[in-house]
């Protein structure tokens, strides 16, 4: 049985890693995870998937941007310039996914007003993204979607963000193994101007997300940054926030 010290050392290594991790880091972590029992592997994966308050893992990958394939789309280009809503979806040419992609597109002007870049990502190829973009909405396609769609064909981005479906590891010969289809869960991450994850949400494959809720969270973060007040339950733009103090919560609850 592995000692608690082994887990602590792995956690310390995770904390000390720079936000822009080289690809070999993921292979090393895969080898380390493979040394643990299934239960401990699950524990380590959970620990690694909690990204709130940490630097968002950077990536450079192929993508479709403004309808054209590019080879080197990077998250780092937005650092210090824009907030980012990075959302993962399972597959091109499926069912819940196009409803979400069109819903984000419909609200794209609202995200732009808030200086937010919307970025979609799945484990499909850039060619698959491009092909799906050619199909009209009335035929189940995503024609008209204008924000970037990243191609995580190597699964490294989904893995770094803790949203890769399936139990996976490395066998005795160093081969990556998987017990199920390795596609992304419906993860969503709000990244601030400093590149720090401030909000994350992960849904199972059948459960679509609320774009209105994503905008509400963006508003809450930006309100807090501008005014220093915290946002209580069900807060929305235009509603009363409160000071983070005993007097502040007492005053808020007395009026609400």
HSE on the CB side for 230, CA within 13 Å?
Answer: 9
Q: 195 near 83, Cβ under 8 Å?
A: no
By annotation, the residues acting in catalysis are 97
Position of tokens 């698959």? Answer: 128
Q: What is the pLDDT of residue 18?
A: 40
Distances (CA, A) of 158 to 106, 124, 139: 25, 12, 28
Position of tokens 């993962």? Answer: 88
Q: Extract the tokens encoding 202.
A: 């992960």
Report the 3 state secondary structure along 126-175: HHHHHHHHCCCHHHCCCCCCCCCEEECCCCHHHHHCCCECCCEEECCCCC
Q: Which residues are within 8 A (CB) of 160 and not within 5 positions of it... i.e. 6 or more apart?
A: 21, 26, 57, 59
**Superfamily for 4-207?**
Glutaredoxin (3.40.30.10)
Q: 197 near 87, Cβ under 8 Å?
A: no
Burial-class residue 84 by CB neighbours within 10 Å (0-12, 13-18, 19+). Answer: buried
Q: What is the pLDDT along the chain (256 residues), one digit of tens a residue?
A: 444 554 454 444 444 444 444 433 444 444 334 434 344 444 444 445 799 999 999 999 999 999 999 999 999 999 999 999 999 999 999 999 999 999 999 999 999 999 999 999 999 999 999 999 999 999 999 999 999 999 999 999 999 999 999 777 788 898 878 788 889 999 999 999 999 999 999 999 999 999 999 999 999 999 999 999 999 999 999 999 999 999 999 999 999 9
Residue-range domain boundaries for the chain = 4-207, 210-256
Buried b (16+ CB within 10 A) or exposed e, 35-62: ebeeebbeebbeebbebeeebbbbbebb
């Amino acid at each position: 049985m592995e000692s608690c010290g082994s887990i602590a050392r792995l956690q310390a290594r995770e904390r000390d890693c720079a936000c822009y991790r080289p690809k070999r880091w993921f292979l090393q972590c895969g080898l380390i995870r493979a040394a643990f029992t299934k239960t401990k592997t699950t524990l380590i994966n959970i620990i690694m998937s909690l990204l709130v308050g940490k630097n968002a893992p950077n990536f450079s990958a192929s993508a479709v941007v403004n309808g054209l394939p590019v080879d080197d789309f990077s998250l780092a280009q937005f650092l210090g310039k824009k907030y980012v809503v990075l959302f993962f979806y399972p597959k091109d040419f499926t069912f819940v996914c196009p409803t979400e992609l069109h819903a984000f597109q419909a609200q794209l002007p609202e995200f732009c007003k808030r200086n937010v870049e919307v970025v979609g990502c799945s484990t499909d190829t850039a060619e698959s993204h491009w092909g799906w973009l050619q199909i009209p909405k009335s035929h189940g396609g995503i024609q008209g979607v204008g924000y970037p769609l990243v191609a995580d064909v190597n699964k490294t981005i989904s893995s770094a963000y803790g949203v890769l479906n399936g139990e996976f590891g490395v066998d005795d010969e160093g081969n990556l193994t998987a017990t199920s289809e390795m596609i992304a869960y419906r993860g969503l991450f709000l990244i601030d101007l400093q590149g720090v994850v401030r909000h994350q949400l992960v849904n199972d494959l059948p459960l679509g997300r609320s774009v209105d809720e994503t905008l509400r969270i963006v508003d809450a973060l930006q309100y807090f940054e501008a005014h220093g007040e915290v946002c209580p339950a069900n807060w929305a733009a235009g509603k009363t926030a409160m000071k983070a103090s005993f007097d502040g919560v007492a005053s808020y609850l007395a009026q609400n």
